[in-house]
């Protein structure tokens, strides 16, 4: 990936930071995008301190009007984009009758609409160049019902099918669009779900019968680097004949379905 240019959303932490770091280590110049300007700056500082090429761009995907200008600025600064990774995501949990309109709107604004507006801005520039690769980080919840996760699961399902439809439209231009669907991954988002100690982690690994949730056959939580490796593979030339695909990275939690 030496000499390639990548844009990674949600790059301030978790899976997004892992993806940005791995792309940098493989020689790409990375535009690290996030709405959390302070955390993003710290993440990029660590990368640049190691001699890697990464630049921070503070962008709120929920503010649609920022995206086109940000993509233009990124290409002016780093060069034409070869890769886009849609990692940004938010999670609002609760039973449907307890979810507020704000919970629903905030979830879809980033997880679905954010993927749409960023992908549209980037792919519009990729099409004339007739090359590029896009990966959207969704969730195994996009295809498996989860209690208290209706907004999140629905938004990730929307992002998944959007990415595949986009991939169908742009395949004739040599642009590939794929999805990586993580399961429970050891990130700040998991902590935000109340998984703070060994008992909670064991519950996820063993399964939660009252929530109709199977455990993880590989007997461990995923790591951000596990997901990053899958993303990098789908972006790479080794996946040059793969598009419209969803790669599940969940230790077998959804039983291969």
- List the catalytic residues: 152
Q: Which residues contact 188 (CB under 8 A, 6 or more apart)?
A: 13, 14
Rounded distance between C-alpha atoms, residue 246 and residue 252, angstroms: 14
The answer to whether 112 touches 138, Cβ cutoff 8 Å, is no
Q: Is 95 helix (H, G, I), strand (E, B) or coil?
A: coil
Asked if residue 208 lies in contact with residue 187, where contact means CB atoms within 8 angstroms, the answer is: no
C-alpha angle 91-97-100 in degrees, rounded to nearest 5: 50
Of the candidates 114, 134, 119, which has an alpha carbon nearest to the alpha carbon of residue 60?
Answer: 114
Tell which residue, 34, 30, 28, has the closest CA to residue 9: 34
Alpha helices in the chain (DSSP H): 14-25, 37-49, 65-78, 101-111, 113-129, 150-170, 188-192, 198-206, 224-235
Picking from 136, 222, 144, the residue whose alpha carbon sits closest to that of residue 179 is 136
């Amino acid at each position: 990936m030496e000499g390639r240019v990548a844009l990674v959303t949600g790059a301030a932490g978790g899976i997004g930071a892992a993806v940005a770091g791995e792309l940098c280590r493989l020689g790409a110049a990375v535009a690290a995008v996030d709405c959390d300007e302070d955390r993003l700056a710290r993440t990029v500082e660590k990368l640049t301190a190691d001699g890697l090429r990464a630049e921070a761009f503070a962008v709120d995907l929920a503010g649609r009007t920022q995206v086109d200008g940000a993509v233009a600025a990124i290409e002016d600064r780093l060069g034409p984009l070869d890769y886009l990774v849609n990692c940004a995501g938010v999670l609002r949990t609760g039973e449907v009758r307890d979810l507020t309109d704000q919970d629903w709107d905030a979830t879809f604004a980033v997880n679905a609409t954010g993927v749409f507006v960023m992908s549209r801005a980037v792919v519009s520039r990729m099409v004339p160049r007739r090359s590029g690769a896009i990966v959207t980080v969704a969730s195994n919840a996009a295809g498996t019902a989860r209690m208290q996760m209706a907004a999140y699961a629905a938004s990730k399902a929307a992002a998944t099918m959007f990415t595949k439809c986009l991939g169908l439209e742009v395949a004739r231009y040599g642009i590939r669009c794929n999805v990586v669907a993580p399961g429970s991954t050891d990130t700040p988002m998991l902590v935000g779900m109340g998984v703070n100690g060994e008992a909670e982690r064991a519950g996820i690994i063993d399964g939660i019968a009252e929530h109709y949730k199977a455990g993880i056959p590989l007997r461990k939580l995923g790591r951000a680097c596990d997901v990053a490796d899958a993303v990098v593979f789908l972006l790479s030339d080794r996946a040059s004949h793969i598009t419209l695909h969803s790669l599940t990275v969940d230790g077998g939690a959804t039983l291969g379905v």
